[in-house]
Structure 1
Amino acid sequence: MSLARLLSDQHQRLEELTVLLSREQTLLTQGDIDGEALASLAMNKQALLADIERIETLRHSVQKRLGYEESADGARAAARDGNCQDTWETLLEKTERVARMNELTGQMLSLRMKHNQEMLDYIRQIAEKTLYKPDGRTRAQSGRINASA
């Protein structure tokens, strides 16, 4: 497979990943989280990332086979010599954008989880202060001595 084709394939996969990350961010900003939709997106992202990694491994092997260093400079030189430097530069920009989107999504998930934990802690505090015990009796009833005993 040619270097130009591999770069084009990577670019396409990164576009797809951008769409998935955007959907994920939209879901995370909604009041009610659709857990099934998030799980489905996570599975799709995982498959897409595996595909991107596979293509990147192929690109590295083509770069090496063509006699270029296994470095960023080698990749740049291979792209330049293969007349696909513009595609390479665009791919690098897209990769940086996807990385920023992924970081933002991670921060959104962390905030969401922190908020949920705070809500659970608050609910536990309220539950501990209630008049009723888990057996349904009031706390006042449980402290009384049974007069018929």
Structure 2
Amino acid sequence: MSLAETLDRQLDAMQRFVTLLREERQSLSQGEVDGPELERLAEEKSQVAAELETLDAERRRLLHEQGHGESRQSAERAATEVQRQDSWHQLRSTGEEARQLNRINGLLAMNRMEQNQRMLNFLKEAAGSTMYEADGRSRHKGLNRISSRV
């Protein structure tokens, strides 16, 4: 595979990865989390990430074979030589977008886990004591404060 083809395929894979990250962010932002959907997205992300690793290794191999170094400047020169400078810039900016989306999704997932842990702790505490007064009213007024929204 040529360097031009590798860059084209790498850009395509990175764009697919960003699309999956956007879908994941949307799913994590919903009031009710769709576990099977998140599982599907995680599997697809894993497959695309493996593809990106393979393509990056191929790109680096080709750069080395053509006498280019590992620096960004060398990669940019090589992309220019094969008339893919725009693709190289787009790959870099899309990669940065993926990094930011992945960080945001991680924070959303962490917030979900913390919220779930708080709900579990509340339920454990409630299970250890009587939940209702003698007149049938809830003994734990805090139940109304728990929300499934992020």
2:27 is equivalent to residue 36 of structure 1: no
TM-score, structure 1 as length reference:
0.83
Cα separation, 1, equivalents of 2:45 and 2:131: 48
Aligned partner letter, 1:107: L
* CA offsets 1:89-112 (integer angstroms, 9 cap, x no match): 111011001110111111100000
Q: Structure 1 residues 98-107 or 1-10, which shifts more? A: 1-10
Aligned partner letter, 1:42: A
SS in 2 for 1:14: helix
TM-score, structure 2 as length reference:
0.83
Task: Determine the structure 2 residue equivalent to 1:135.
Answer: none
Task: Determine the structure 2 residue equivalent to 1:66.
Answer: 66
2:132 is equivalent to residue 118 of structure 1: no
Moved over 3 A (4+): none
* CA offsets 1:37-92 (integer angstroms, 9 cap, x no match): 11111011000000011000000000000000122222122112222211111110
Change (3 A) 1:131 1:18: closer
Q: CA RMSD in A?
A: 1.4
Change (3 A) 1:131 1:121: closer
SS in 2 for 1:130: coil
SS in 2 for 1:94: helix
Q: Return 5+ residue gaps in structure 1 as ranges.
A: 133-149
2:42 is equivalent to residue 8 of structure 1: no
Q: Return 5+ residue gaps in structure 2 as ranges.
A: 133-150
Aligned partner letter, 1:34: D
Aligned partner letter, 1:19: T
SS in 2 for 1:4: helix
Paired residues for 1:1-149 under 5 Å: 1-130=1-130
SS in 2 for 1:26: helix
* CA offsets 1:107-147 (integer angstroms, 9 cap, x no match): 10000001000110111111112279xxxxxxxxxxxxxxx
